[in-house]
Amino acid sequence: MAEFDVAVVGGGLMGSSAARHLAEAGMSTVVVAAPEPDDWALGVGPFASHYDSGRITRIISADPVWAELAVRSINRYDDIAERSGIAFHDPRGLAWLGIGIESAVNNSNDRGGTARMVDPEWLYNTTGIRMPTTPGMQCAMEDGPAGVINPRDLARAQLVLAEQAGATLIYAAADVVQPHTPPGASLSVTVGGPFGSITAKKALLATGAYAADLAGIDLQVRRQLRTTVRVDIGPAPEMPSLIIEPVEHPHINDLYWNPPVRYPDGRVLFKVGCEIENAPEAQGADEIAAWFAGQGDPVEEDALVQTTRNLLPDVDVNHWETVPCVITRTAHKYPYVGWVDDGLAVALGGNGSSAKSCDEIGRLASMLFTDGGWEDPVVGPEVFAPVVLG
């Protein structure tokens, strides 16, 4: 007899969100959630994409699927925060700089967002952000609920609610996930680790950059090894989140930042990141661990610092640190949410955009385990179908 209806492996943003929805729908749920390594330099992992204190949240997007995932999630932030007692959302707004951004603004407005075109002088006078003189560049602002969320706190809030709804939490890394059908019995999935072994009727792998490796399934993912910069700019000015694309720099395509937020060590830091062509990729766990033990890429660091200085001419960008991270990209650029084997589904592949939308991604994943399955005219299962190699 399986002990649980569903075992969720991974307690990051997608796993914790799926676990909440599963447990609140009345399914007996166990979550096997690896804790964050105390010392990244010594840790073997697993590491995660949400090990940070800030992630941009916004409805505005050039892509209606991402806008839809975001607004559905954002609409539930207050409920999650209130019932868990964990605040994770700061609706301080977002500046969106780009070329041909009308459709992104419309995608916000169509879903109740407040995005609107603004004048570059207004932007500079109210935020200190100097729009580059790139031909054709425009500027939009989206007020709250756009802004910033604390991803560690959001995952924690989801796990609190999952546990309140009856889920069992195991804080350890799983080392095996094995679907099997013993003679005369029904299909079940065994999840093993330092805690021993548990069985569930079905399992959801929400293991981020580790994809479906635990189950020996080769998903088409790219695990990009990336670098961010955390800048100490002194007493934190009121500043919105920012996304700008393109950026006129030989090494980076775009740039984003989270406004200054407080980190666990008490410092208030401002985090900057970007997209680059041909980012290095990890093949597996050892290469991810080696990357997290290092200092990132100095070329990416230099590009981020120089571009930030140009965008914030009045701010003293003189003290910063680099932080390595990993982004998991899928073949179709949306998360993989779907079945990959009998009894085994995945919810992973954040593509650098899923923190704000994790609650809806987790809800969709939880629908896989219901009798009725998952139907949705806008974000149906076909959009998120996992691509398995071999």
Ligand X SMILES: Cc1cc2nc3c(=O)[nH]c(=O)nc-3n(C[C@H](O)[C@H](O)[C@H](O)COP(=O)(O)OP(=O)(O)OC[C@H]3O[C@@H](n4cnc5c(N)ncnc54)[C@H](O)[C@@H]3O)c2cc1C
The contact mask relative to ligand X for 53-82 (x = CB under 6 A, - = no) is: --xx--------------------------
Within 330-369, which residues bind ligand X (CB under 6 A)? Answer: 348, 350, 352-356
- 15 is a contact residue toward ligand X (CB under 6 A): yes
- In angstroms and rounded to an integer, the radius of gyration of the C-alpha atoms of the chain is 21
- 255 is a contact residue toward ligand X (CB under 6 A): no
- 88 is a contact residue toward ligand X (CB under 6 A): no
- 239 is a contact residue toward ligand X (CB under 6 A): no
Shortest distance, position 127 Cβ to ligand X, whole Å: 18
How many residues touch ligand X under the rule CB under 6 A: the total is 35
- 49 is a contact residue toward ligand X (CB under 6 A): yes
Q: Which is nearer to ligand X, 191 or 312 (CB)?
A: 191
Concatenating the DSSP letter of every residue in 245-283 gives E----SS-S-EEEEEEEE-TTS-EEEEEE---TT--EE-
* Number of neighbours of residue 27 by Cβ within 10 angstroms: 21
Q: Which is nearer to ligand X, 214 or 344 (CB)?
A: 214
Q: What distance in Å separates the CA atoms of residue 228 and residue 231, rounded to the nearest whole number?
A: 10
Shortest distance, position 82 Cβ to ligand X, whole Å: 21
Shortest distance, position 346 Cβ to ligand X, whole Å: 9
Shortest distance, position 128 Cβ to ligand X, whole Å: 20
- 208 is a contact residue toward ligand X (CB under 6 A): yes
H or E element, residue 99: strand 94-99
| Category of 326 on φ-ψ map: left (φ > 0), alpha (ψ -120 to 50) or beta | beta
Q: Could you say which of 129, 131, 167, 214 contacts ligand X (CB under 6 A)?
A: 214
Q: Which is nearer to ligand X, 1 or 155 (CB)?
A: 155
- Please check whether residue 143 is in contact with residue 115, taking contact to mean a CB–CB distance below 8 angstroms: no
What separation in angstroms does the CA of 140 have from each of 68, 110, 120, 132? 19, 15, 9, 14
Q: Could you say which of 206, 279, 312, 337 contacts ligand X (CB under 6 A)?
A: 206
Q: What distance in Å separates the CA atoms of residue 355 and residue 73, rounded to the nearest whole number?
A: 10
Q: Which is nearer to ligand X, 13 or 141 (CB)?
A: 13
Local structure of residue 297 (DSSP, 8 states): -
Q: Which is nearer to ligand X, 12 or 259 (CB)?
A: 12
Within 19-48, which residues bind ligand X (CB under 6 A)? Answer: 32-34, 46, 48
- 327 is a contact residue toward ligand X (CB under 6 A): yes
SS (H, E, C) 127-169: HCCCCCCCCCEEEEEECCCCEEECHHHHHHHHHHHHHHCCCEE
Longest pairwise C-alpha distance within the chain: 73
What's the gap between Cα 165 and its chain centre?
24
Q: Could you say which of 61, 108, 207, 366 contacts ligand X (CB under 6 A)?
A: 207
- 282 CB contacts (<8 Å, ≥6 apart)? 209, 223, 225, 288, 291, 326
Q: Which is nearer to ligand X, 196 or 235 (CB)?
A: 196
Interface segment toward ligand X; rule CB under 6 A; list 10-18, 134-142, 158-166, 368-376: 10-18
The closest of 353, 369, 385 to 149, measured between CA atoms, is 353
- 279 is a contact residue toward ligand X (CB under 6 A): no
Within 147-176, which residues bind ligand X (CB under 6 A)? Answer: 151, 173-174
What stretches of the chain show up as alpha helix (H) in DSSP? 13-24, 64-74, 77-84, 102-109, 120-127, 151-164, 285-292, 298-311, 358-367
Q: Which residues bind ligand X (CB under 6 A)?
A: 9-15, 32-34, 46, 48-50, 55-56, 151, 173-174, 206-208, 210, 214, 228, 273, 325, 327, 348, 350, 352-356
